């Protein structure tokens, strides 16, 4: 049975995940360092991990596997999940797959290098929109419908 693993600390689509998971009767695990309230629905679990660096990522990477879905914006975690044949969705609804993970990692590294080269040119990302939420909900619903 598919499990949705959520890198929940900074995830902007937790409510959407909960709604789609319940509609599909799918277990979802919100993984965080704390500060997130548990959901009373029996399909929605909360896993609180240590406060160390990447503790949530390591916890998810150790458990996610084929047939599961990982929701994250963390590219290294996404790469580890893809290696284990899990589906990966970003909060904007875009998928990270075996065919694009290399490009996504390279782009992440390039942007990090550009920021390091010019610390005064720190751009802010685009704001998260209702359209992003809608795209995410639709993508997650489609992933679960295919499983």
Which domains does the chain show, CATH number per domain?
3-98+127-146 (3.40.50)
pTM over 0.75: yes
Give the model's pLDDT for residue 35.
84
Which tens digits make up the pLDDT trace of 78-137? 999 999 999 999 999 999 988 776 666 656 555 665 666 776 666 666 788 899 999 999
CB atoms < 10 A from the CB of 113, how many? 9
Give the model's pLDDT for residue 119.
67
CB atoms < 10 A from the CB of 126, how many? 8
Give the model's pLDDT for residue 135.
94
């Amino acid at each position: 049975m598919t499990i949705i693993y959520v890198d929940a600390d900074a995830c902007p689509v937790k409510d959407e995940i909960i709604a789609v998971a319940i509609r599909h009767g799918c277990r979802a695990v919100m993984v965080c360092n704390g500060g997130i309230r548990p959901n009373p629905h029996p399909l929605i679990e909360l896993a609180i991990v240590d406060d160390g660096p990447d503790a949530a990522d390591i916890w998810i990477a150790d458990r996610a596997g084929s047939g599961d879905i990982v929701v994250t914006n963390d590219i290294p975690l996404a790469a580890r999940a893809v290696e284990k044949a899990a589906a990966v969705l970003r909060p904007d609804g875009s998928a990270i797959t075996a065919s694009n993970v290399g490009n996504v990692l390279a782009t992440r590294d390039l942007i990090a290098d550009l920021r390091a080269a010019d610390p005064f040119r720190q751009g802010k990302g685009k704001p998260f929109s209702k359209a992003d939420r809608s795209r995410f909900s639709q993508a997650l619903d489609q992933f679960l419908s295919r499983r």
